[in-house]
Amino acid sequence: MAISNPSSYTNGSETGQMGRIPEICLSFPSKINSPGLPSLFLEKNRHAKLMDYSLPRLQFQRVVGFVLTQMIRSLLKIMGLPMFVSEMLAGIILGPTVFPDFYSLINTSDESVAALGAAGGFGFVYFLFLSTVKMDVSLTFKSGKKAVYIGVLTVVVPLISCLITIKMRHPGINLFTNRIFFLSTSYAGTSFQVIHCLLSELRILNSELGRLGLSSALIGDMVTLLLTMFSTWVNSGIQRGALAVLIDIGMASIFMFIILFVLRPVMKWVVNHTPEASQINDICFYFVVLAFMLSPRKLDPITSGLFLPIFTTTCGMRFNLAAIKRPNLYAKDHALGATVALVIKFGVSLVLAVSCKMPLRDSLALALIMISKGIVEIGSYSIMYDKQVISDALFCYLTIMIVSVASIVPILVKRLYDPSRKYLCSQKRTILNSKLNQELRMLGCVHVPGHVNSIVNLMHALCPTKESSISLDVLHLVKLSGRATPLFIAHHKQIKTISEKSYSENVIIAFNEFQRHNWEVVSVNVFTAVSPPNLMYEDTCNLAMNCLTSFIILPFHRRWSIDGSIESEDQTIRSLNFHILERAPCSVGIHVEVRRSNFRDTSPTHHSSYKIAVIFMGGQDDREALALAKRISQYQSVSLTVIHLKAKTSLGNILAENGQMLDDEMLRYIKRSVKNLTYIQEQVKDGPETSTFLRSIVGDFQLIIVGRRYKIKDPQTFGLEEWCEFQEIGIIGDLLSSLDFFGNYSLLIVQQQLQRAA
């Protein structure tokens, strides 16, 4: 349907015909603090209401919004819906749609609405500020072609489709009038902040799909920003003339110049002159906050800093379902254009992903990620609604679309994409399946400087030789802080690191020195992964899979002093170890250092025997431990002792016949092939007897290797399960690391690669 008079084609909100008359009545003097509940019941105040005072009203609004949000969150969390949806639904319930009388009670005047909006608006601006500060814009120049194509085309093609849709309905309309181009850009645009929040909540931020989605979102956000600025300047030129546009461009250029060439160097100077592990001077911090408060325009109403959920709830409170029943032509056209842009954006993302030979499930997940909507979109439309750029009906439709997309996308992405699925490989990457005369590929994880010495000591203990060399990949895991995008650095492939100061400078120096002293025996490559602690297992497992690793070495989360007191403990490392044990594409070992006696050098020398013990009870983990000990025993000065603990009686949990045969065969092979071998067979009836026997011999060895044997019950450990504190190192590992055992030895708890069904 074509319109007869294009100039009459407006959003319908300027004249107030949607029921929003732009008049605000304020009462003076303003009522801020209430006189108190007792005073309100006095005769002279009998007509006063508590909600007439702005401060208690604002506090009441916050409490009600918070309680309702948490109630909805408790119901929707089971479905995997994000917090944003709960906050929006809470706002819709508190709005005029569901309980209009209650809405009138907590919003007694336009002044109360303005106060709540100002408080929430500060949260929104602060969220955008922090999100933008954490963005690494340099990634736009380092992204691959795949990310560039997806980022650009998923904005440009939907934008063109949206404009064509509106133009087909009204051939005579000018697309740069009535903010048509501007709004179409918002429908087709990509928000980096929204996609970053989605990937963080789904815990796939540093997965292969997450990195591609984040890079594409960053490029798409840049394209959206450029198109938005272009549409704003064109619309300004039509309304105010070319001179006004030139002035706007000049002011924006000056603003960017000051930020890039004045403020940025000053901030770098402050950081460089701040001692490491120290905080920035308070005066500098307050200056940054003040500059932030003054830099955005029209922030005068914002007087206090509240939280982002308040803003989201207030956005939902603007929703009035009654308005959607009376849409004008402008609202109908833009609702159709927004729908077309969403569908085309999904289709373009899917086609590009499939054309890049991505699996169909991953392609669908990426397409869903790219159409994500959230706080940035609803915030922008709320501001447009308040400024009467869009009508009530259009705002209601866009709100429904945003909440629907924000609810559906996380559920579908979670069902379609499982990052651990790629670790389900039929190939066996174990020490047992590695040939003795071939290089053994290992991956060592480092969190703190103390872990460097632990891995170096363990490498010495493993006694590599030219015939049985080791390729060691060292992964330095750093907590993601101050930036939004995870970072992965392969230092041996980089001539120059990204920052002036390397994340892993000391780690690199230490392992280069270790490699220099063990030339032709050990080769070392150092990597750095900067990511959230709860997602570090992705970096570890990905590197292990890509480097064809057979064995991952993890540090234990607790370290003891010589007197037995706890020196340090990190539950984040413990959680990470659990995740890796469950998902690793190869065998895993946890290294525990027990130092409860006078220190003596435990490294093997040519003049003394280096004593290693393997505690064997049967099972695949114990066989893996024996395979590792076999490689170590090739060193001439190594003395290997196999301690075979056998049960005196059976308690109904005998190993399967096939497993027993494999154990016997492995023991025969070790006895036949290892020259300097001591074999001890000890029969024990229960856990306490095992503990007593092990306590009497652990002091004779420098390295003890045991299998994890997770969830395996045996007569030899009966009665010890209840006292096991650390399940990740198994019952025997937990026993040998307990304070009941004294000595100066290292523990290596081994878990053979888990075979999972795809």
Q: What are phi and psi of 174, to 5 degrees?
A: -90, 120
Asked if residue 5 has pLDDT above 60, the reply is no
Asked if residue 612 has pLDDT above 70, the reply is yes
**In what helix (H) or strand (E) does residue 254 lie, and over which residues does it extend?**
helix 242-258
Q: At 735, is the secondary structure helix, strand, or coil?
A: helix
Helix locations, 417-535, DSSP H: 449-461, 505-517
Please check whether residue 468 is in contact with residue 628, taking contact to mean a CB–CB distance below 8 angstroms.
Answer: no
Q: Which two tokens stand for residue 427?
A: 């190939």
Q: What is the pLDDT of residue 386?
A: 85
Please check whether residue 372 is in contact with residue 406, taking contact to mean a CB–CB distance below 8 angstroms.
Answer: yes
Amino acid at 386: D
Q: What is the pLDDT of residue 301?
A: 37
Q: Give the residue, 29 or 717, on which the prediction is more confident.
A: 717
Amino acid at 326: R
What is the C-alpha to C-alpha distance for residues 394 and 616, in angstroms, rounded to an integer? 71
With tokens 């336009």, the residue in question is: 110
With tokens 């790219």, the residue in question is: 370
Q: What is the pLDDT of residue 324?
A: 83
Q: What is the pLDDT of residue 96?
A: 86
Please check whether residue 423 is in contact with residue 545, taking contact to mean a CB–CB distance below 8 angstroms.
Answer: yes
First to last CA, the chain: 55
What is the C-alpha to C-alpha distance for residues 234 and 229, in angstroms, rounded to an integer? 9
Q: What is the dihedral of CA 705, 711, 713, 716, to 10 degrees?
A: 20
Q: What are phi and psi of 552, to 5 degrees?
A: -105, 130
DSSP string, 287-308: HHHHHHHHSSSS-TT--S---H
Asked if residue 345 has pLDDT above 90, the reply is yes
Q: Which two tokens stand for residue 581?
A: 């044990």
Q: What is the pLDDT of residue 152?
A: 95
pLDDT tier for residue 29 given thresholds of 50, 70 and 90? low
What is the C-alpha to C-alpha distance for residues 591 and 601, in angstroms, rounded to an integer? 17
Q: How many CB atoms lie within 10 A of CB 141?
A: 8
What is the C-alpha to C-alpha distance for residues 612 and 633, in angstroms, rounded to an integer? 9
Dmax over Cα atoms in the chain, in whole Å? 103
Asked if residue 33 has pLDDT above 90, the reply is no
What is the C-alpha to C-alpha distance for residues 573 and 554, in angstroms, rounded to an integer? 9
Say which range, 16-30, 348-362, 424-438, 620-634, has the weakest mean pLDDT.
16-30
CA atoms within 13 A on the CB side of 345: 32
Q: Which two tokens stand for residue 659?
A: 């497993």
Q: What is the pLDDT of residue 25?
A: 58
Burial profile 256-276: b = 16 or more Cβ within 10 angstroms, e = fewer = eeeeeeeeeeebeebeeeeee
Mean pLDDT of 591-599: 74
Q: Which two tokens stand for residue 636?
A: 């001439």
CA atoms within 13 A on the CB side of 351: 10
pLDDT tier for residue 700 given thresholds of 50, 70 and 90? confident
Q: What is the pLDDT of residue 498?
A: 41
DSSP string, 388-435: TSS-HHHHHHHHHHHHHHHHHHHHHHHHH--GGGGG--SS--SSTTS-
Q: At 681, is the secondary structure helix, strand, or coil?
A: strand
What is the C-alpha to C-alpha distance for residues 704 and 612, in angstroms, rounded to an integer? 6
Amino acid at 42: L
Q: What is the pLDDT of residue 329?
A: 86
In percent, how much of the chain has pLDDT > 70?
80
DSSP label at residue 614: E
Q: What is the pLDDT of residue 416?
A: 93
Mean pLDDT of 522-547: 91
pLDDT tier for residue 304 given thresholds of 50, 70 and 90? very low
What is the CA 349 to chain-centroid distance, rounded?
A: 23
Amino acid at 593: E
DSSP label at residue 7: G
Mean pLDDT of 370-390: 91
* Beta strands at 522-531 and 487-490: parallel, antiparallel or unpaired: antiparallel
Q: How many CB atoms lie within 10 A of CB 148?
A: 16
With tokens 């092990």, the residue in question is: 694
Q: What is the dihedral of CA 335, 341, 347, 350, to 10 degrees?
A: -120
- Omega before 29 cis (within 30°)? yes
What is the C-alpha to C-alpha distance for residues 467 and 756, in angstroms, rounded to an integer? 33
pLDDT tier for residue 729 given thresholds of 50, 70 and 90? very high
From residue 354, alpha-carbon distances to 194, 269, 312, 363 in Å are 24, 46, 35, 6
CA atoms within 13 A on the CB side of 740: 14
Write the pLDDT tens digit of every residue in 121-144.
777 877 787 777 777 776 666 678
Q: Which two tokens stand for residue 102?
A: 């209650």
Most confident of 119-123, 259-263, 341-345: 341-345
Amino acid at 618: G
Mean pLDDT of the chain: 81
Q: What is the pLDDT of residue 46?
A: 46
Q: How many CB atoms lie within 10 A of CB 655?
A: 15
What is the C-alpha to C-alpha distance for residues 610 and 463, in angstroms, rounded to an integer? 10
Write the pLDDT tens digit of every residue in 348-365.
999 999 999 999 999 999
> What number of residues does the chain have?
758
Residues in Cβ contact with 5 at an 8 Å cutoff, skipping those fewer than 6 apart: none
Please check whether residue 424 is in contact with residue 756, taking contact to mean a CB–CB distance below 8 angstroms.
Answer: yes
What is the CA 28 to chain-centroid distance, rounded?
A: 49
Partners of residue 638 on adjacent β-strands: 610
Q: Which two tokens stand for residue 138?
A: 């340099």
Q: Give the residue, 214 or 493, on which the prediction is more confident.
A: 214
Nearest CA to 704 out of 684, 686, 730 is that of: 730
Asked if residue 88 has pLDDT above 90, the reply is yes
Q: What are phi and psi of 410, to 5 degrees?
A: -60, -40
With tokens 């559906």, the residue in question is: 408
What is the C-alpha to C-alpha distance for residues 209 and 365, in angstroms, rounded to an integer? 8
In percent, how much of the chain has pLDDT > 90?
33
Please check whether residue 722 is in contact with residue 552, taking contact to mean a CB–CB distance below 8 angstroms.
Answer: no
How are the residues of the chain apportioned to helix, strand and coil, as percentages rounded to the nearest 5? 55, 10, 35
Q: How many CB atoms lie within 10 A of CB 56?
A: 17
Residues in Cβ contact with 706 at an 8 Å cutoff, skipping those fewer than 6 apart: 614, 615, 622, 625, 730, 732, 733, 736, 747, 748, 749, 750
What is the CA 51 to chain-centroid distance, rounded?
A: 42
Q: Give the residue, 341 or 24, on which the prediction is more confident.
A: 341
